[in-house]
């Protein structure tokens, strides 16, 4: 093996597979471990089944195997304080600490932070009991669209765009009275509905410097032309067509000012989900981690050593770094199990993965057993291709997906098409 540092990656999705795939190209990385990983990850990292919230056990594992850095994929361990736990034990870890992770873990915290630091966002009100929320609606026009959001983490399901007052009232009751998200629904936000194209702005942040990656666009609805229910993301492309860069600079400048003023330990990824409205760019949400599936459409274009960026972030040296990218585009299409995002079946054998030639397959819900791959989740594979024009990239990715087969599989046929329309 070439490198000298062993790494731990926490997570089990296409995002983590893409991070590991990219870290494998680093001259510095020796061996990669993953908790818990998936079928595809098991082919390039040593996977161990472990509860990703059992910080004591994970930190023992890190010590036993002398792992020089831990990268956290999903938000829940960050929001629950894995970074604070590791820091107390003098273990190097990439990600914001618990207090800073509230930017994703509490929508109330995030919105109030945006307001304090002049980061443009939808107008909003906070409520901590259903009666106040419901009487607020009586002050609104009954046809006014609103967005109701549970304060805490809800696996991406806590946001409801409501087109009538009646719908909004039903949602408030579900969240605050029926507690469908448990204590994540102790508070809610009611905000104005915005219209426009959404873009994901993902950046490294060491508390002093923001280093943006290329903009990307997710596709949240299950069917073509953004029809059907929401999913965890059906595909992404990058760079997404975009934007007044001055507005973006202002968002990041104000964000950093807030991080410094509030002395937040923010050394990780910051992700701003933005909407390009007719009144300019507005931030819909912050996430404190890489996007999934955006990462699968960003890292294949990146030339810079990913470990260098992780290290510089932890050491607060991002001001010395640049991100170099290949020319062209990356399109990443998610292949899902039959029935997803509703009830779906697993344990279907996946065929044709070896026939994929000029694209890379990042696994999400898969299992490797006796030389074969099987489905093991709703989101199964992300197929990512790179080429010089967006047209060519789209046809390359779909040509490769046709080689993959499993019972019930489905995917969107229009990932990246929005980028064509506007260019």
Query: Interface with ligand AMP includes 193 (CB under 6 A)?
Result: yes
15 or 396: whose CB is closer to ligand GLY?
15
219 or 348: whose CB is closer to ligand GLY?
219
CA distance 244 to 247: 6
CA distance 133 to 188: 8
- Region of residue 75 (left: phi > 0; alpha: psi -120 to 50; beta: else): alpha
16 or 218: whose CB is closer to ligand GLY?
218
Please give the structure tokens belonging to residue 102.
């509230």
Q: What DSSP string describes 152-197?
A: S--TT--EEEESSHHHHHHHHHHHHTS-TTGGGGSSEEEEE---SE
Q: Which stretch binds ligand GLY (CB under 6 A): 80-88, 284-292, 319-327, 330-338?
A: 284-292
Contacts with ligand GLY: how many residues (CB under 6 A)?
7
Q: Which stretch binds ligand GLY (CB under 6 A): 39-47, 287-295, 315-323, 329-337?
A: 287-295
116 or 193: whose CB is closer to ligand AMP?
193
Identify what 122 binds: ligand AMP, ligand GLY, none; CB under 5 to 8 Å per kind: ligand AMP
Please give the structure tokens belonging to residue 286.
């912050």
State CA 333 to chain mean position distance.
15
Shortest spacing between CB 306 and ligand GLY, in angstroms: 18
Between strands 146-150 and 124-127, the pairing is unpaired
State CA 361 to chain mean position distance.
18
Identify what 161 binds: ligand AMP, ligand GLY, none; CB under 5 to 8 Å per kind: ligand AMP
Shortest spacing between CB 140 and ligand AMP, in angstroms: 15
Contacts of 281 (CB under 8 A, 6+ apart): 120, 243, 244, 247, 248, 251, 274, 275
Query: Interface with ligand AMP includes 273 (CB under 6 A)?
Result: yes
CA distance 380 to 374: 9
CA distance 177 to 378: 29
Q: Which residues of 302-327 are buried (b: 16+ CB within 10 A; e: fewer)?
A: bebbbbebbbbbbeeebeebebebee
Question: Among residues 218, 225, 300, 210, which one has the least CA distance to residue 255?
Answer: 210
Shortest spacing between CB 248 and ligand AMP, in angstroms: 17
70 or 199: whose CB is closer to ligand GLY?
199
Query: Interface with ligand GLY includes 387 (CB under 6 A)?
Result: no
* Selected binder of ligand GLY within 16, 151, 206, 292 (CB under 6 A): 292
Interface pattern 230-269 for ligand GLY (x via CB under 6 A):
---x------------------------------------
185 or 207: whose CB is closer to ligand AMP?
185
Between residue 116 and residue 155, which ones bind ligand AMP under the rule CB under 6 A?
122, 147, 149
Identify what 39 binds: ligand GLY, ligand AMP, none; CB under 5 to 8 Å per kind: none
Query: Interface with ligand AMP includes 159 (CB under 6 A)?
Result: yes
* Selected binder of ligand GLY within 294, 310, 341, 379 (CB under 6 A): 294
Question: Among residues 92, 352, 96, which one has the least CA distance to residue 204?
Answer: 96
218 or 387: whose CB is closer to ligand GLY?
218
CA distance 123 to 191: 6
* Selected binder of ligand AMP within 10, 284, 307, 383 (CB under 6 A): 284
- Cα distances (Å, whole numbers) of residue 189 to 170, 255, 270, 370: 14, 21, 21, 49
Interface pattern 299-338 for ligand AMP (x via CB under 6 A):
----------------------------------------
Between strands 93-94 and 67-72, the pairing is parallel
Interacting residues with ligand AMP (CB under 6 A): 122, 147, 149, 159, 161, 191, 193-194, 198, 273, 284-285
Interacting residues with ligand GLY (CB under 6 A): 156, 218, 233, 287, 291-292, 294
């Amino acid at each position: 093996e070439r490198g000298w540092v062993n790494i731990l990656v926490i997570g089990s999705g296409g995002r983590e597979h893409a991070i590991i795939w990219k870290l494998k190209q680093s001259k510095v990385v020796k061996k990669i471990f993953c908790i818990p990983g998936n079928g595809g990850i098991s082919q390039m990292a040593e996977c161990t089944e472990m509860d990703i919230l059992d910080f004591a056990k994970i930190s023992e594992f890190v010590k036993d195997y002398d792992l020089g850095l831990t990268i956290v994929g999903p938000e829940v361990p960050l929001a629950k304080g894995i970074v604070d736990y590791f820091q107390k034990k003098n273990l190097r870890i990439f990600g914001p600490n618990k207090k800073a992770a509230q930017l994703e873990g509490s929508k109330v915290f995030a919105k109030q932070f945006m307001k304090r630091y002049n980061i443009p966002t939808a107008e909003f009100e906070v409520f901590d009991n259903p009666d106040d929320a419901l009487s607020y609606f009586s002050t609104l026009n009954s046809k006014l669209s609103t967005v109701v959001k549970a304060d805490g983490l809800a696996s991406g399901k806590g946001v409801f765009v409501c087109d009538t007052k009646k719908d909004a009232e039903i949602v408030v009751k579900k969240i605050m009275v029926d507690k469908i998200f448990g204590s994540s629904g102790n508070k809610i936000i009611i905000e104005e509905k915005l219209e426009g194209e959404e873009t994901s702005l993902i950046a490294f942040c060491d508390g002093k410097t923001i280093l943006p990656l290329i903009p990307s666009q997710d596709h949240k609805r299950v069917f073509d032309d953004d029809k059907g229910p929401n999913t965890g993301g059906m595909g992404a492309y990058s760079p997404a067509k975009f934007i007044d860069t001055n507005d973006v600079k202002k968002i990041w400048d104000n964000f950093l000012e807030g991080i410094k003023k509030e002395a937040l330990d923010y050394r990780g990824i910051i992700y701003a989900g933005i909407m390009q409205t007719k009144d300019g760019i507005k931030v819909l949400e912050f996430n404190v981690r890489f996007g999934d599936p955006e990462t699968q459409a960003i890292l294949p274009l990146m030339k810079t050593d990913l470990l260098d960026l992780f290290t510089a972030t932890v050491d607060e040296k991002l001001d010395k770094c640049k991100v170099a990218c290949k020319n062209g585009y990356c399109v990443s299409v998610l292949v899902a199990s039959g029935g997803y995002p509703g009830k779906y079946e697993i344990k279907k054998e996946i065929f044709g993965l070896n026939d994929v030639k000029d694209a890379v397959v990042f696994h999400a819900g898969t299992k490797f057993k006796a030389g074969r791959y099987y489905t093991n989740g709703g989101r199964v594979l992300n197929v990512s291709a790179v080429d010089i024009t967006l047209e060519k990239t789209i046809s390359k990715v779909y040509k490769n997906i046709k080689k993959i087969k499993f019972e019930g599989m489905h995917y969107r046929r229009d990932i990246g098409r929005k980028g064509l329309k506007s260019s």
